């Protein structure tokens, strides 16, 4: 990492490159934040780490420089109380038991004990395969119907969804929280998830790495939690046929059904899982950064438009090519940098939006949307009634900005100002090309959705089969949640700068519109709305 950075900065001194077109000031300013936030000295901005705190202080200082007011009471920093728990592998073991014979499983090679596991202790339970493990009353779809899961472990395919179920509905019900709720209701004691390699965004080795981090939770409940899974494991698909042996089914057959969006069969497996899990728990805290641009309209100033982006990333981890810093450039220094530059554009244009605009760099996204949950459920005084969230997470400026995916565009009236802005700039707003990746429920906008706030999140789009698609796929395979998401990678800085102006224009439109945004009548997410809710006063911190 540091080696690569040195090399690339040396390259800038090579005279032939001086002929390259100079970056625009807007692109340069945006990139300077990315460099500051994703440098090796920030050590990957892990939730609760010193590096994350330094990054939070950088964001607060920049907001102050831009004349954005503190939005977290006395200052810019909102404390987020957390607890963490981690599986102690040395004191944990797992085995399959078939016809009385124990077959020990090699942890991390065959089976990952996910830190989503909430209970220490022993387990000895039969296995039942229940397809996607989805139970969606609104769609009349239930993988658990007629299955007895009491005291048993549910085996599911993770990734893919029945095509009969509308995408956003399936997205909502396949979040870890909702799966936990489904299985808890059925009385299951655990889950074995078989990742569908065809839609999995990362190789097995990186999945192992990502599970090495402790799991974190908010230290105080927010009312958004939906349940715990006593035991949560991932089974290596390469070894899956040892799990399915004797069931009359193979993984290939099941994945073919998943890929075709068809329901999968459900059946008991002639095998059980036996073992012991040791967990370690501790307390910590981390920071959200909140800036506030008070609205200029006496009435509408009591409502706020939130721009959010997660500042945290994965910290230090397993090295790749000797590099152990998970810098998180695309994920998500670029998003926080865009948030700061939108603040600059609004200030320099003297836009004076009618509604209040909140700039919120949240912590704990990678640990389960924790900082945004805390903020959305405990907004600091002066936040007003939040009426929209525009979230930035890995918007991926790999190419010039021609197409934009807006997660949630089908769900609310935010579509209209977005389309107006985009068409003015000659940008095509397109449908999510990968709905099975659950983009709308996988980042911080979801915490706002659960509080009833209409939301959108963004990513540069591409056409199927294009060069851009190849770039996106390669980026996921090589750099997503890896040390390679660093400052040496190619980034389309002009594309990012154009995205910043699009976002600034969108923010103004939403903040100035006479009507506050609303969920579409037929939107699934409308259920979280609190009709006629008075402007929220800050909820007391327990
Ligand atoms: Zn991430």
What is the Å distance from ligand 1's center to 427 Cα? 26
What is the Å distance from ligand 1's center to 169 Cα? 22
pLDDT tens sequence across 21-46:
788 999 999 999 999 999 999 999 99
What is the Å distance from ligand 1's center to 332 Cα? 7
Q: Report the candidate in 402, 394, 438, 417 with the shortest Cα–Cα distance to residue 503.
A: 417
What is the Å distance from ligand 1's center to 209 Cα? 13
Q: How far is CA 322 from CA 111, 263, 325, in A?
A: 26, 44, 9
Query: Three-state DSSP class for 541?
Result: coil
**Phi, psi for 112 (deg, rounded to 5):** -100, 125
What is the Å distance from ligand 1's center to 172 Cα? 18
What is the Å distance from ligand 1's center to 295 Cα? 32
What is the Å distance from ligand 1's center to 115 Cα? 17
Q: Around Cβ 203, how many Cβ atoms within 10 Å?
A: 12
Q: Is the pLDDT of residue 540 over 70?
A: no
What is the Å distance from ligand 1's center to 330 Cα? 9
Between 323-327, 383-387, 410-414, 429-433, the lowest mean confidence (pLDDT) is in 429-433
What is the Å distance from ligand 1's center to 145 Cα? 34
| pLDDT reported for residue 200 | 66
What is the Å distance from ligand 1's center to 328 Cα? 8
What is the Å distance from ligand 1's center to 49 Cα? 17
| pLDDT reported for residue 212 | 72
Query: Three-state DSSP class for 110?
Result: coil
What is the Å distance from ligand 1's center to 475 Cα? 13
* CA 340/CA 308 separation, integer angstroms: 10
What is the Å distance from ligand 1's center to 194 Cα? 21
What does the mean pLDDT of the chain come to?
89
pLDDT tens sequence across 445-473:
999 999 999 999 999 999 989 999 999 99
Q: Between 50-65 and 334-348, two packed helices, what is the crossing angle to 10 degrees?
A: 10
Q: What is the pTM of this model?
A: 0.79
What is the Å distance from ligand 1's center to 173 Cα? 20
| pLDDT reported for residue 20 | 54
What is the Å distance from ligand 1's center to 180 Cα? 21
What is the Å distance from ligand 1's center to 478 Cα? 14
Report strand pairing: 153-158 vs 121-129.
Answer: parallel
Res. 10 pLDDT band, cuts 50 70 90: very low
What is the Å distance from ligand 1's center to 399 Cα? 20
* CA 525/CA 161 separation, integer angstroms: 18
What is the Å distance from ligand 1's center to 170 Cα? 21
What is the Å distance from ligand 1's center to 313 Cα? 7
What is the Å distance from ligand 1's center to 367 Cα? 9
Query: Three-state DSSP class for 210?
Result: helix
pLDDT tens sequence across 91-136:
999 999 999 999 999 998 999 988 778 888 999 999 999 999 999 9
What is the Å distance from ligand 1's center to 443 Cα? 9
What is the Å distance from ligand 1's center to 223 Cα? 24
The first and second tokens of residue 407, run together, are: 């997660």
Q: Residue 123 in contact with residue 277, Cβ under 8 Å?
A: yes
Q: Around Cβ 30, how many Cβ atoms within 10 Å?
A: 25
What is the Å distance from ligand 1's center to 43 Cα? 15
What is the Cα 61 distance to its own chain's centre?
26
Query: Three-state DSSP class for 155?
Result: strand
The first and second tokens of residue 513, run together, are: 């519109």
What is the Å distance from ligand 1's center to 366 Cα? 5
DSSP assignment, residue 434? -
Q: Residue 520 in contact with residue 413, Cβ under 8 Å?
A: yes
* CA 393/CA 388 separation, integer angstroms: 16
Handedness of CA 460, 462, 467, 471 (dihedral sign): positive
* CA 237/CA 235 separation, integer angstroms: 6
Residue of higher predicted confidence among 542 and 344: 344
Q: Around Cβ 130, how many Cβ atoms within 10 Å?
A: 28
Q: Report the candidate in 108, 111, 160 with the shortest Cα–Cα distance to residue 131.
A: 160
* CA 404/CA 397 separation, integer angstroms: 10
The DSSP result for 252-314, as a single string, is HHHHHHHHTTPPPP-EEEEEEEEEEE-EEEEEEEEEEEEEEE--SSTTGGGEEEEEEEE--B-
Res. 417 pLDDT band, cuts 50 70 90: very high
What is the Å distance from ligand 1's center to 433 Cα? 19
- Mean pLDDT, rounded, for 321-326: 93
| pLDDT reported for residue 215 | 78
| pLDDT reported for residue 138 | 86
Q: Report the candidate in 57, 36, 54 with the shortest Cα–Cα distance to residue 45.
A: 54
What is the Å distance from ligand 1's center to 146 Cα? 37
Contacts 24+ apart (CB under 8 A), 198-203: 198/159, 198/160, 198/255, 198/258, 198/259, 199/159, 199/160, 199/434, 199/436, 199/437, 200/159, 201/437, 201/476, 201/480, 202/476, 202/477, 202/480, 202/481, 203/477
What is the Å distance from ligand 1's center to 331 Cα? 5
> Which residue reads 């046929």 in tokens?
241
């Amino acid at each position: 990492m540091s080696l690569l950075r040195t090399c690339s900065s040396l390259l800038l001194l090579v005279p032939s490159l001086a002929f390259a077109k100079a970056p625009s000031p807007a692109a340069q300013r945006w990139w300077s934040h990315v460099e500051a936030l994703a440098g090796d000295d920030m050590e990957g901005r892990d939730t609760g780490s010193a590096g994350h705190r330094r990054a939070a202080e950088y964001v607060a200082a920049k907001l102050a420089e831009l004349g954005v007011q503190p939005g977290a009471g006395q200052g810019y920093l909102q404390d987020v109380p957390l607890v963490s728990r981690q599986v102690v592998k040395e004191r944990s073991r797992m085995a399959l038991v078939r016809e009385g014979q124990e077959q020990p499983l090699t942890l991390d090679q065959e089976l990952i004990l996910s830190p989503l596991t909430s209970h220490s202790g022993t387990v000895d339970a039969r296995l039942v395969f229940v397809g996607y493990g989805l139970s969606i009353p609104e769609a009349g779809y239930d993988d658990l119907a007629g299955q007895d899961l009491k005291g048993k472990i549910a085996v599911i395919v993770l990734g893919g969804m029945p095509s009969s179920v509308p995408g956003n509905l399936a997205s909502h019900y396949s979040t870890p929280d909702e799966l936990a709720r489904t299985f808890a209701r059925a009385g299951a004691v655990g889950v074995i998830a078989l990742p569908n390699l065809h839609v999995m965004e990362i190789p097995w080795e990186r999945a192992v790495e990502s599970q090495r981090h402790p799991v974190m939770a908010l230290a105080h409940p927010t009312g958004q939690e939906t349940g715990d899974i006593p035991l949560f494991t991932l089974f290596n698909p390469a070894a899956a046929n040892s799990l399915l042996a004797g069931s009359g089914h193979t993984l290939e057959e099941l994945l073919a059904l998943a890929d075709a969006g068809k329901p999968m069969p459900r059946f008991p497996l002639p095998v059980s899982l036996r073992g012991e899990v040791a967990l370690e728990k501790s307390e910590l805290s981390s920071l959200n950064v909140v800036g506030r641009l008070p609205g200029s309209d006496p009435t509408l100033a009591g409502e706020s438009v939130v721009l959010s982006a997660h500042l945290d990333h994965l910290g230090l981890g397993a090295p790749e090519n000797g590099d152990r810093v998970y810098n998180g450039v695309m994920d998500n220094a670029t998003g926080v940098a865009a948030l700061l530059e939108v603040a600059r554009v609004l200030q320099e244009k003297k836009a004076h939006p009618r509604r209040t605009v909140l700039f919120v760099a949240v912590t704990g996204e990678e640990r389960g949307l924790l900082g945004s949950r805390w903020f959305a459920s405990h907004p600091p005084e002066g936040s007003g009634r939040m009426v929209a969230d525009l979230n930035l997470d890995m918007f991926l400026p790999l190419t010039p900005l021609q197409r934009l995916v807006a997660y949630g565009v089908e769900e609310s009236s935010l579509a209209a100002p977005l389309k107006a802005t985009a068409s003015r700039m000659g940008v095509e707003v397109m449908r999510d090309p990968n709905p099975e990746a659950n983009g709308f429920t996988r980042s911080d906008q979801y915490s706002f959705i659960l509080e009833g706030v209409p939301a959108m999140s963004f990513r540069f789009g591409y056409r199927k089969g294009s060069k851009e698609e190849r770039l996106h796929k390669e980026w996921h395979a090589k750099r997503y949640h890896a040390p390679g998401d660093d400052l040496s990678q190619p980034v389309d800085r002009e594309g990012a700068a154009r995205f910043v102006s699009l976002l600034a224009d969108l923010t103004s439109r939403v903040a100035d519109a006479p009507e506050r945004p609303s969920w579409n009548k037929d939107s699934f997410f409308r259920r979280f709305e609190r009709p006629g809710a008075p402007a929220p006063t800050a909820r007391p911190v327990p």
